[in-house]
Amino acid sequence: MPNLGARRNIPQNISKADGVCTFVKHAGTIRILAISGSLRRASSNSALVEAAARLAPGTVKISIYRGLAELPAFNPDLDDDAPETVIRFRAALQACDAVLISSPEYAHGVPGVVKNALDWVVRSGELIDKPIAIINASARATHAWASLAETLRVMSARVILDASITVSLDGKRIDANGFVEHAELSTELRRAIEALAAAARDVLIVLQ
């Protein structure tokens, strides 16, 4: 299996024409780390993430990261000697091929817990070149979506628009079972997972 981490070694100015980089297809199981940006017990975004894990096709394994609330407030002084919870978060990101974030909007912004988690990996770089789907459970959450996309892009992650869907619930409450059993919503969610996995299969490797 190609070493996904190798992409981080590619200097910005090297192109395929230089003969040192090429795309190959990642043939194995695609590992996606899914993160809900809501800590609420009955969260729609957490339900969406749970449903995604259950709807993933056999070639995709979705693990859910549940540690957002345990990450301490970001402090650049601790970046190089990070607390254990941060080390585990970074390792989980390093070990996956793609990330799926489902987040609510609070006061026209990204929830603090999500931004805080991302701040811990700006310098350590686990999201560089990582394909990411930004999904949510509300069509009104446009400010948070745009802000999250901007933050991820400036961190050199690859926001996959095809996989970044809004599952509009029109104010209805729905749990993970509801998503999985809903023909239309589950089809849409499965298609987004497949689009994210397809992006993760295109792996850029460096030929030494």
Ligand X SMILES: Cc1cc2nc3c(=O)[nH]c(=O)nc-3n(C[C@H](O)[C@H](O)[C@H](O)COP(=O)(O)O)c2cc1C
Size of the site for ligand X (CB under 6 A): 14
**Applying CB under 6 A, which of residues 50, 97, 105, 126 lies at the interface with ligand X?**
105
| Contacting range for ligand X; rule: CB under 6 A; set: 73-81, 90-98, 99-107, 195-203 | 99-107
DSSP symbols for the chain: ---GGGGGG--TT--GGGTSEEEEE--SPEEEEEEES---TT-HHHHHHHHHHHH--TTEEEEEE--GGGSPPP-GGGGGG--HHHHHHHHHHHH-SEEEEE---BTTB--HHHHHHHHTTTTT-TTTT-EEEEEBS-TT-HHHHHHHHHHHHHTT-EE-GGG--B---TT----HHHHHH-HHHHHHHHHHHHHHHHHHHEEEEE--
107 sits near ligand X (criterion: CB under 6 A):
yes
141 sits near ligand X (criterion: CB under 6 A):
yes
| Contacting range for ligand X; rule: CB under 6 A; set: 37-45, 57-65, 70-78, 125-133 | 37-45
Give the residue with the Cβ less far from ligand X, 4 or 55. 55
Planar angle of CA 145, 95, 197, nearest 5 degrees: 55
69 sits near ligand X (criterion: CB under 6 A):
no
**Applying CB under 6 A, which of residues 16, 54, 66, 140 lies at the interface with ligand X?**
140
Restricted to residues 40-59, the positions that interact with ligand X (CB under 6 A) are 40, 43-45
Q: Could you tell me the smallest distance in angstroms from the CB atom of residue 192 to ligand X?
A: 17
82 sits near ligand X (criterion: CB under 6 A):
no
Q: Could you tell me the smallest distance in angstroms from the CB atom of residue 89 to ligand X?
A: 20
**Applying CB under 6 A, which of residues 61, 74, 106, 198 lies at the interface with ligand X?**
106
Give the residue with the Cβ less far from ligand X, 33 or 137. 137
Question: Left if phi > 0, otherwise alpha if psi is -120 to 50, otherwise beta: which for 168?
Answer: beta
Residues of this chain that interact with ligand X (CB under 6 A) are 38, 40, 43-45, 104-108, 137-138, 140-141
